[in-house]
Structure 1
Amino acid sequence: MTTAQTYANFSAREARGVSPAYERLSLAVSGDDEVLALLDGLPPAKRQPNLLFGVVRLLGGPVEDPAAFHDYTLANWPRIEAQIRTRATQTNEAGRCAVLLPVLATLPQPLALLEVGASAGLCLYPDRYAYRYGDHLIGDGAPVLDCEATGVLPPLMVPEVVWRGGLDLNPLDVTDPADVAWLDALIWPEHAHRRARLRTAAAVAAADPPLLVRGDLVDDLPALVERAPAEATLVVFHTSVLYQLLPARRAAFTDLVRGLPGHWVSNEAPGVLPYDDLPEPPDDAHLNVLALDGRPLGWTRGHGQAVHWFG
């Protein structure tokens, strides 16, 4: 897929109906030869829309007006490029816990949670948040995570978590204002509710910081698994992480995680992991596949706002 096609696809399938600013901007970039030429000078993994747009937002540049974005990007490309080359998309959306909860609540309790691609670790606190599935409220924490659930009954309670650990190439610290600023920059422009949710979830994590380890999700995973308590059910999980890996590395991770004790929960775009049979998605929006131990269970929206269960 060319860079132009990547941006056009992002506009039509990910941003449409979710972020008018990014829908408009990514469509404009898909036809902007000057910006595309700059992007094509980067490694393929660094050309993605969320990374470019997040860096421009972090630097104070405009993302609402495509013409202003074009001018700013060309005028400030050395600064933008430097940030893109050193950063990664680390959207740490606590709302994704709402689509993980129907799986986590069914596993033998208590749980030892280990997230790969953990960013700042905000998804390691599903027991501390509250959830609203329609008019069904679960838990009494904050923030309250809203999720539309079809095909599955909402869980009756939050899970019991006795250990939480995360692995990331560049873990972020929720007590560091610069790291929180990057997480904020990755939130799409119109999503004020997600910014408020980030601040509340970050306060939860800062009050009881998780164990976050800098490392590779293949090479360093076994050592972190050894630190989890044996009396708890180990759950290795990830959301929108594996698409950033080359296929061979993805396969190595899959082979490794299948051999670990406990359970494996994945929430990745279709095509990232192999499945023998997937039903048709409920719509043409960009959806992830929620799976337990390699068995697909449902379609989910990227920020945790909906789960369509079929498992």
Structure 2
Amino acid sequence: MTAADWYDDFATRQAHGVSPAYERLARAVARDETLLALLGTVPPPKRQPNLLFAVVRLLGGPVHSPSDFAAFVHANWPAVAAHLTTRATQTNEANRCALLLPVLASLPQPLALLEVGCSAGLNLYPDRYSYAYGTHRVGSTGPLLTCTATGAPLPTALPTVAWRAGIDLNPLDITAPADLAWLDALIWPEHAHRRTRLREAAAIAAADPPHLVRGDLVDALPALAASAPRDATLVVFHTSVLYQVPDEHRRRFTAQVGVLPGHWIAVEDPEVLTYPDLPPPPADVMHKNVLALDGKPLAWTRGHGEGLSWFAS
């Protein structure tokens, strides 16, 4: 896939109907030969639309006008390129816990949560948030996570978490203003509700920081999993992470996590983590991930946790 194709795909499958500003920018970049040439000077994984847009936001650049955006990138390319090469899309969307909750609540309690690609670890606190699946409510404290659920076995209680830890190549410190600013920059421009939720979730994590390990998902996983308490159910999980992992390394990870004791929850694009005989996704939303437990697909999901459509028996 060329960079132009990537930006067109982002506009169609992710930004359309979700972020008008990013849809306009992505389509403009896909047709701007000078911007595409600049992107061609950084490694292919660093040409990702959401990464470029977040870097420009972090640097104080405009994202609502494609022409102003292009002018800013040209004028500030050395700084933009430096951030592209050193940063990653570490979107730490707490609302994705609403996708995990139906599965987490169904497992033997208490849980030992281990998140791969944890960013700042905000998804390690599903027991500290409250949830609204339409009129169905669970929990009464912390930020309210909202999710439209079709056919899902909705939980009636929050999970009990005895231990929480995470792995990331560059774990973020939620108490560090610079790291919080990067998480804010990754939120799409129209999504003020997500910025409010980020700060509410950040306050919870800052008050009881998780154990985050800097390391590779394959190399660091066995030792960290082995340190989980034996009287808790180990749950290794990740959401929208594996697209950043090279194919062979991804295969090593899935083989490894599949033989660990406990359970494995994945929320990933089915083009990245494939499953045979998936039913077609709902027609009303363009971009979908698949929620799976121990390699068995359960539901189609929205990218930021806004909805899930259950299809497993």
Corresponding residue for residue 189 of structure 2: 189
Q: Which one-letter code corresponds to 1:48 in the other structure?
A: Q
What SS does structure 1 have at the residue aligned with 2:279? coil
Corresponding residue for residue 260 of structure 2: 260
> 1:277 and 1:115 mapped to 2: Cα distance?
27
> 2:139 and 2:202 mapped to 1: Cα distance?
18
> 1:277 and 1:128 mapped to 2: Cα distance?
36
Further displaced range: 177-186 or 152-161: 152-161
Corresponding residue for residue 157 of structure 1: 157
User: How far does residue 140 in structure 1 lie from its aligned partner after superposition?
Assistant: 1.1
What SS does structure 2 have at the residue aligned with 1:157? coil
1:310 aligns with 2:305: no
Corresponding residue for residue 287 of structure 2: 286
Corresponding residue for residue 141 of structure 1: 141
CA shift digits 1:193-226 (9 cap, x unpaired): 0000000000000000000000000011111111
Alignment of 1:268-279 (within 5 A): 268-279=268-279
> 2:44 and 2:157 mapped to 1: Cα distance?
42
CA shift digits 1:217-248 (9 cap, x unpaired): 00111111111101000000000000111110
1:32 aligns with 2:35: no
User: How far does residue 136 in structure 1 lie from its aligned partner after superposition?
Assistant: 1.0
> 1:153 and 1:120 mapped to 2: Cα distance?
29
> 1:276 and 1:55 mapped to 2: Cα distance?
37
> 1:250 and 1:103 mapped to 2: Cα distance?
23
Corresponding residue for residue 52 of structure 1: 52
1:297 aligns with 2:259: no
- Taking structure 2 as the reference length, what is the TM-score of the superposition? 0.98
Q: Which one-letter code corresponds to 1:297 in the other structure?
A: L
5+ unaligned residues in a row in structure 2: which ranges?
none
Length, aligned pairs only: 311
User: How far does residue 274 in structure 1 lie from its aligned partner after superposition?
Assistant: 2.4
> 1:231 and 1:153 mapped to 2: Cα distance?
26
Percent identity, aligned pairs only? Answer: 66
Q: Which one-letter code corresponds to 1:213 in the other structure?
A: V
> 1:299 and 1:153 mapped to 2: Cα distance?
14
Q: 1:153 to 1:258 in 2, by over 3 A?
A: closer
> 2:70 and 2:276 mapped to 1: Cα distance?
43
1:88 aligns with 2:68: no
User: How far does residue 153 in structure 1 lie from its aligned partner after superposition?
Assistant: 3.2
> 1:60 and 1:248 mapped to 2: Cα distance?
37
> 2:153 and 2:279 mapped to 1: Cα distance?
20
Alignment of 1:70-85 (within 5 A): 70-85=70-85
> 2:132 and 2:211 mapped to 1: Cα distance?
28
User: How far does residue 141 in structure 1 lie from its aligned partner after superposition?
Assistant: 1.5
What SS does structure 1 have at the residue aligned with 2:260? coil
CA shift digits 1:164-201 (9 cap, x unpaired): 00000000001000000000000000000000000000
> 1:256 and 1:40 mapped to 2: Cα distance?
34
Corresponding residue for residue 43 of structure 2: 43
CA shift digits 1:40-92 (9 cap, x unpaired): 11111101001000000000000110000010001110000001101000000
Q: Which one-letter code corresponds to 1:99 in the other structure?
A: L
Corresponding residue for residue 221 of structure 1: 221
Corresponding residue for residue 129 of structure 2: 129
5+ unaligned residues in a row in structure 1: which ranges?
none
> 1:166 and 1:67 mapped to 2: Cα distance?
40
CA shift digits 1:134-168 (9 cap, x unpaired): 01110012100000000113211111100000000
> 1:108 and 1:53 mapped to 2: Cα distance?
41
Q: Which one-letter code corresponds to 1:288 in the other structure?
A: N
Q: Which one-letter code corresponds to 2:286 in the other structure?
A: A
> 1:277 and 1:110 mapped to 2: Cα distance?
33
Corresponding residue for residue 236 of structure 2: 236
Q: Which one-letter code corresponds to 1:304 in the other structure?
A: G
Corresponding residue for residue 202 of structure 2: 202
> 1:219 and 1:174 mapped to 2: Cα distance?
24
Alignment of 1:87-106 (within 5 A): 87-106=87-106
